[in-house]
Amino acid sequence: MAQLTAAAPPGGIAVVIPVRNEAAHLPLLLADLSLAPPGLISELLVVDGGSSDGSGRLARLAGAALRQAAGGRGAQLVAGVAATEAPWLLLLHGDLRLPPRWWESVRAALGQAEAAWYFRLRVQEPGLALRLMEAAVELRSRWACTPYGDQGLLLPRRLLERAGGLRPLPLMEDLDLVLRLRRWAPVRCLGPVVWVEGRRWRRLGVWRTTWHNARLRRAWRHGTEAGELARRYYQL
């Protein structure tokens, strides 16, 4: 990576991206990240969970470091965080698109009091139902302080460690983490939006997807094992 500049935090940011079969989307995210000012990103790591579509090869071609980790997104994030050293972490799903000049809000957050930060969510599909869903996500994120992993998460490594770190859960790793983080520091919105690929919403329908996700969250809060939740999630 480029040399750090005075505008970058000491040690920079480690970007960790868990992927599995994201060859159609990962190059676009890596292109967005490549536009960051020199020194802001000191480590860029893609953690592949067993892709069969060449996601790992594309990551290397784009200049990212690559690591393999099985067991689902939680295990991939645990492996990725352990393999990096930067004092700040930016955790992103592989199908995200970052907004223009995304680094401005990220860099502004680095100079504020300790917190965890997330982006606002938009889905790359038309339709009133999705716009209503996005509004509900925004309300939940702001008032309940529970953004999910597809909104990205920027946080100091020391805050993550204080909260007990990530857990290698096959599902709900994002909700599990943010519920622990908010006991230690505020969970705040960066302001700009990230765009996510709408394949699941398109395949299942907005209301069915929303209903199914809500049932999974309820089951998790009532103690259902994460492996069973992952089975229910991926069988649809």
Structural domains in the chain, sorted by start:
13-201 (3.90.550.10)
Using CA atoms, how far apart are residues 180 and 211, in angstroms rounded to an integer?
Answer: 25
Q: Which two tokens stand for residue 15?
A: 């970007």
Does residue 6 surpass a pLDDT of 50?
no
- Strand (E) or helix (H) holding 38: none
Q: Can you tell me the mean pLDDT for 10-27?
A: 92
Q: What is the DSSP string of 40-96?
A: TEEEEEEEESS-SSSHHHHHHHTT-EEEE--S-HHHHHHHHHHT---SEEEE--TTE
Residue 195, pLDDT > 80, answer yes
Which residue in the block uniquely carries the two structure tokens 């071609």?
Answer: 61
CA distances from 59 to 21, 107, 165, 195 (A): 12, 24, 25, 20
The yes-or-no verdict on residue 214 having pLDDT over 90 is no
Q: What is the mean pLDDT of residues 56-64?
A: 95
Q: What is the predicted pLDDT for the residue at 190? A: 96
**Nearest-angstrom CA–CA distance, 104 and 40:** 11
* Residue with more model confidence, 91 or 209: 91
* Of 119-123, 174-178, 231-235, minimum mean pLDDT range: 231-235
81-91 mean pLDDT: 97
The pTM of the full predicted model, rounded to 2 decimals, is 0.91
Average pLDDT score over residue span 23-42: 96
**pLDDT score of 7:** 45
- Which pLDDT belongs to residue 223? 87
- Determine the average pLDDT of the residues in 198-218: 82
